[in-house]
A = this chain, B = another copy of it.
Amino acid sequence: MSQYTAPVRDMQFVMHELAGLQEVAKLPGCEDVSSDLVDAILDEANKFASGILAPLNRVGDQEGAKWDHGKVTTAPGWKEAYRQFSEAGWTAVAGDPEYGGQGLPKLLSTAVMEMWKAANMAFSLCPMLTNGAIEAVALRGSDEQKAAYLPKMISGEWTGTMNLTEPQAGSDLAAVRTRAEPQGDGTYRLFGQKIFITYGEHDLTDNIVHLVLARLPDAPEGVKGISLFVVPKFLLNADGTPGERNDVQCVSIEHKLGIHASPTCVLAFGDSGGAIGTLVGEANRGLEYMFIMMNEARFAVGMEGLALSERAYQHALAYAKDRVQGTEAGVRGGPKVSILHHPDVRRMLMSMKSQTEAMRALAYVVGAATDLAHRHPDAAVRAQKQAFVDLMIPVVKGWCTENSIDIASTGVQVHGGMGFIEEAGAAQHLRDARITTIYEGTTAIQANDLIGRKIARENGVTVRALIGDMRAVQGQLAEQQGEAFAAIRKSLDAGIAAVEAAVDYILATYNNDIKAASVGSVPFLKLLGIVGGGWQMARAALASQARIAAGSDDEFYRTKIVTARFYADHVLSLAPALAYAVVNGAAGALALDEAHF
């Protein structure tokens, strides 16, 4: 069966050598983040992920969450695992210390989050959505709301949900119709139906805190008339304990391709007189608040792409080492060998491995930049880091998730015929991965955000600074000897040039022909991800070479250089083709009338 062990060595390498853990540890509020603490947390999280969560991944897929007359029962073992998870304090890792959280830096919570998602993605969605609700309340909630909900959610005693989507309002939240009627006592009654609500109902906790987008009676049309409400499943008694059942019901859950154990709910608000809620922040600013929180959620989904890729890789590698089939290439009648000996299996595994490591490096670097953006004493540094984070969030989300589908599919392929048999477990990773490019904004939504708000709006300032950072690495590569570094440099040179050409095209086109620019948006997002990953793999190779030069004989470093070289030859080398599609691809894509498709 599929097992999972967190790749702690690579996580540590990335945190220390690429993402600047030492700098993060100097930030205000991070003074306790010693190497020992990091080691201890990663070690404990790995134990929990591999020992408790990973073994439940398959039963979750097979049994799934079950709906019966409005009640949702989670898969066998889920409830106990959730209890242990919250009791061990894992729900509180990133939370505000004022409300019981541990306030650990993003860089560290990112590594921990990767473990939960790799071990059991369906499980991880529950704390992930709760984090979204925590953030919403922390960001704009009143003191009463904070006091009522934050300690309970941070401790994991209650979970939270995000209620955005309605049948007619998916990517287009301007179309939200759920109504909120003021009751004159500071509360509101909500009426409407929300769909695709992750963990909208379950049996893990005594209460569920729904964050809900809805319209006030006098609200303007469109995006500027949407407000945010907090609507608990059970209304709170005066002492803060769950009291009367609120008028929100789970009327069904979806039958999905993957993440079967995560109940995806249709929630009906107000079928019996109105679901009682309170306004979060100011009226009509709900969507604006959502956008502020979006970085967090999109980053987390990007981590799902990384995490599922790691899981699929471990799964395929174990099979490839175990499965004996055929003889060494070119050898007739020789001994049978494990399929890891076959060149194409190696190619597939190196492709999975190198892309996963590139994603980890880029994502953790963005995680560390988030810490600097939030906590650095110098406002200029904060602003610069925030701009980098804003630029890279859609890339981490879109690129890592698109990759994860391919990588999980490659994992199936490594298994041969067994990959198609559900019992082998490889197919689950593909099924689970398939949602990641859709929720929290499809890849196209990420790509729109990237070329519009993150590049065109500021005339490319931040992306050009990023290109400058990449060029600096080119210079360092030029100082290295050997074939591997020559190969890395060659592909990175071409990759950076490809990004520049594509950026030039987008900046020249966006404001006068947004459709033409948009045709290239997803190819550009992938391009920036691939080259961003190549940049980090080049840095990883340089850092490894420095260790080797300093006398280390740790095979990890030699392996990292080989992996970076594979990435350069097989993945980064795609960059010019993507730029070609960005720069040349609009006319053909836009020429047909609707009727001629």
Chain A positions near chain B (C-beta within 8 angstroms)? 165, 168, 170-172, 174-175, 195-196, 221-222, 254-258, 317, 321, 324-326, 329-330, 333, 336, 338, 340-347, 349-350, 353, 405, 409, 412-413, 416-417, 419-423, 427, 430-431, 434-435, 437-439, 442-444, 447-448, 483-484, 487, 514-516, 518-519, 521-523, 555, 558-559, 562-563, 565-566, 568-570, 573-577, 580-581, 584-592, 594, 596-597
Contact = CB atoms under 8 A, between A and B. Distances in A.
B589 A570 contact: yes
24 contacts: A170-B416, A172-B325, A254-B421, A255-B422, A256-B420, A257-B420, A257-B430, A343-B521, A343-B589, A344-B448, A344-B518, A353-B597, A412-B434, A413-B438, A413-B443, A417-B439, A430-B434, A483-B587, A559-B596, A562-B591, A565-B591, A566-B588, A570-B581, A573-B577
A255 B580 contact: no
A36 to B, nearest CB: 28
B590 A421 contact: no
Most buried by B among A222, A349, A420: A420
Contact of A588 (B427, B487, B577): B487
B570 A585 contact: yes
Nearest to A558: B596
B257 A597 contact: no
Most buried by B among A171, A416, A430, A523: A416
B344 A521 contact: yes
**Top-9 shortest CB links A-B:** A566-B588, A343-B518, A344-B444, A330-B514, A172-B326, A565-B588, A257-B427, A577-B577, A569-B585
B171 A325 contact: yes
Contacts of A594: 321, 338, 340-341
A196 B570 CA distance: 33
Nearest to A428: B257
A352 to B, nearest CB: 10
A515 B330 contact: yes
Contacts of A562: 588, 591-592, 596
B447 A344 contact: yes
Given A515-B330, A570-B581, A345 B444 contact: yes
B597 A569 contact: no
Given A255-B423, A346-B589, A587-B565, A596 B555 contact: yes
Contacts of A518: 329, 342-344
Contact of A416 (B409, B438, B576, B592): B438
Contacts of A172: 325-326, 336
A434 B345 CA distance: 17
B592 A559 contact: yes
A585 B170 contact: no
A559 B519 CA distance: 18
Nearest to A437: B413
B438 A597 contact: no
Contacts of A431: 257, 431
Nearest to A556: B596
A73 to B, nearest CB: 20
B196 A256 contact: no
Given A254-B423, A256-B422, A329-B518, 16 more contacts: A221-B333, A222-B333, A255-B422, A257-B421, A257-B422, A329-B514, A341-B594, A344-B447, A344-B518, A346-B589, A417-B439, A420-B434, A427-B434, A566-B589, A568-B588, A569-B581
A16 B568 CA distance: 44
A484 B585 CA distance: 11
